[in-house]
Amino acid sequence: MSENTIPYKIYLTEDEIPRQWYNLRADMKEKPAPLLNPGTGQPLTAEEMSGIFCEELVRQELDNNTAYYDIPEDIRNFYKMYRPAPLVRAYCLEKALGTPAKIYYKFEGNNTSGSHKLNSAIAQAYYAKKQGLKGVTTETGAGQWGTALSMACAYLGLDCKVYMVKVSYEQKPFRREVMRTYGASVTPSPSDTTNVGRKILAEFPDTTGSLGCAISEAVEVAVSNPGYRYVLGSVLNQVLLHQSIIGLEAKAALDKYGVKPDIIIGCAGGGSNLGGLIAPFMGEKLRGENDYRIIAVEPASCPSFTRGTFAYDFCDTGMICPLAKMYTLGSSFIPSANHAGGLRFHGMSSILSQLYHDGYMEAVSVEQSSVFEAAEQFARVEGILPAPESSHAIRAAIDEALRCKETGEEKTILFGLTGTGYFDLVAYQLFNDGTMTDVIPTDEDIAKSVAALPKVPGQG
């Protein structure tokens, strides 16, 4: 089909929504390292996991070999409420940049949770329901994951308990109200509803909470209440499996028009979006069928790929979760509170970490003021107000397109537009007022938190 017949938005039909998720691990020669029990230093067994996660999700977490998982019919029906997500040809952005590059973005923000998180939330809630559980618990910081999980649970009639970092609970009342509208109970953390919460409150009565603390409370509630399990929105292998729907749809849409991307770009916090977007493309690259430049974009304030260490570390700042091998800044690393986006995680998905370590992808870090410049430029011509997280990918995509303008190359760029910024307007206001600043950790900051990495057999 000729170039000029490509519409602004490519929608698959509902029948073309993928019927299977793709498990990237099946095509990796070097598999991601297993999660370790922090007490024993040994790989976590399915039995150990099953008190925390529901059974099917444990299976998915541990399975490095099955390439495709059928998507259950009920999940596909839920997907039909907001999928297929459009693949957009950014004609207006290309024109504004004056670039010969062809830019596409996969837009995951057209649902009330405002991001791609819903893709895994419905899957995790579905398996919990199927196992006959009463409900699930989780933590949320900015609130996108909590919102997505609330929506999934409301749909399935499953109880949903969200522990929301107290400072976010107070400063982001709107996210909280969306979750409540979807029937979730939202508790500011630390709270007096758990042992760990009471202990922290006794010691630090004025604390505004942390993600580490909220995780601890959510896990405690899950393991101490029959019929509950804990769920997590990023980092885990199972999450990347569910999020492969992003890349599978994007690839199917491009294939319809015979388009092959040269460069694939995604923002990277814990890796849920990037891992999902690149999955089928990376699969081809691993199998030697096709080559793509794949670029992870992270904030300069929290640069786990570009300045971190590939090592076993805790996934949470509270150091109660299993150890994962990943690029990490150290679980004690606290990114600047100044940073507006949600890409504040100190570590990175083990799958993506292994792929980066093995040279299958690149990473760049970008400063937030330049990220918001890109966000504004994008919003004005493409009509979508992007989330700060997504805008990291926009920044990198614009930079690549401008390089094409210099060289005259007509490269095809695909990036992930993970969500909308409707709940991030405090950050936009800082940018509009010209008072946004960039804070980048020093080498000493990073060295200090990396020095505190846990001792694990085979790790210095």
Rule CB under 8 A: is residue 252 a binding residue for its own copies? no
**Contacting range for its own copies; rule: CB under 8 A; set: 21-29, 174-182, 201-209, 211-219:** 174-182
Residues 112-141 that bind its own copies (CB under 8 A): 112, 114
Residues 355-384 that bind its own copies (CB under 8 A): 376, 379-384
Task: Name the minimum Å distance from CB 327 to its own copies.
Answer: 33
Rule CB under 8 A: is residue 434 a binding residue for its own copies? no
Task: Name the minimum Å distance from CB 430 to its own copies.
Answer: 10
Task: Name the minimum Å distance from CB 82 to its own copies.
Answer: 6
**Contacting range for its own copies; rule: CB under 8 A; set: 242-250, 403-411, 426-434, 451-459:** 426-434
Q: Which is nearer to its own copies, 265 or 375 (CB)?
A: 375
10 Å CB burial of residue 72 (0-12, 13-18, 19+) is: middle
DSSP 322: P
Buried b (16+ CB within 10 A) or exposed e, 99-111: bebbbbbbbbbeb
Rule CB under 8 A: is residue 154 a binding residue for its own copies? yes
DSSP 163: E
Task: Name the minimum Å distance from CB 181 to its own copies.
Answer: 5
> Which residues is 102 bridged to in the sheet?
412
Site string for its own copies, 47-86 (x = CB under 8 A): ------------------------------xx-xxx----
Residue 195 burial (CB count, 10 A): 12
Rule CB under 8 A: is residue 145 a binding residue for its own copies? no
Contact 392, 81 (CB under 8 A): no
d(CA 113, CA 449): 33
**Contacting range for its own copies; rule: CB under 8 A; set: 3-11, 235-243, 262-270, 405-413:** 3-11
Cα dihedral across residues 37, 40, 44, 45: positive or negative: negative
Residues 256-315 that bind its own copies (CB under 8 A): none
d(CA 235, CA 313): 13
Rule CB under 8 A: is residue 178 a binding residue for its own copies? yes
Rule CB under 8 A: is residue 19 a binding residue for its own copies? no
DSSP 26: G
d(CA 378, CA 421): 12
Task: Name the minimum Å distance from CB 77 to its own copies.
Answer: 8
10 Å CB burial of residue 415 (0-12, 13-18, 19+) is: buried
**Contacting range for its own copies; rule: CB under 8 A; set: 27-35, 46-54, 177-185, 400-408:** 177-185
Task: Name the minimum Å distance from CB 5 to its own copies.
Answer: 10
Q: How many residues bind its own copies (CB under 8 A)?
A: 43
Rule CB under 8 A: is residue 452 a binding residue for its own copies? no
Q: Which is nearer to its own copies, 96 or 286 (CB)?
A: 96
Residue 116 C-beta-side C-alpha neighbours within 13 Å: 33
10 Å CB burial of residue 283 (0-12, 13-18, 19+) is: buried
For 26: left if phi > 0, alpha if psi spans -120 to 50, otherwise beta; the answer is: alpha
d(CA 335, CA 386): 22
The letter for the amino acid at 265 is I
Q: Which is nearer to its own copies, 83 or 285 (CB)?
A: 83
Task: Name the minimum Å distance from CB 298 to its own copies.
Answer: 24
d(CA 363, CA 278): 14
Residues 190-219 that bind its own copies (CB under 8 A): none
With H, G, I as helix, E, B as strand and everything else as coil, classify residue 228. strand
Binding site for its own copies (CB under 8 A): 7-9, 11, 13-14, 77-78, 80-82, 92, 110-112, 114, 151, 154-155, 173-174, 177-178, 180-183, 376, 379-385, 420, 422-423, 425, 428-429, 431-432
